[in-house]
Amino acid sequence: MTPNELKTARKALGLSAAKMGLALEVDPRTVRRWEAGPQAVPGPVKVAVGFMLASTKKDPPPKQGA
């Protein structure tokens, strides 16, 4: 996950850096460093953000007559 992908995911989740930091149990400054690029996004964070994004996707409505 690139820094830009992390920032895009955070915005798609409607989270500030502070709220994402709370969700990931890290300092908000760490989230900002990941997004800026000097500090690589750790693997477990990539997985957690992936789960967060997946949990926001809505299932399609059931088909009529099924």
Which residue from 3, 4, 2, 15 is spatially nearest to 53, judged by alpha carbons? 15
Q: Which residue ranges make up each domain of the chain?
A: 3-54
HSE-up (13 A, CA, CB side) for residue 24: 29
Q: What confidence category does residue 8 fall into, taking pLDDT thresholds of 50, 70 and 90?
A: very high
Question: Which pLDDT tens digit goes with each residue over 19-33?
Answer: 999 999 999 999 999
pTM, to two decimals: 0.79
**Residue 3: exposed, middle, or buried by beta-carbon count in 10 A (0-12, 13-18, 19+)?**
middle
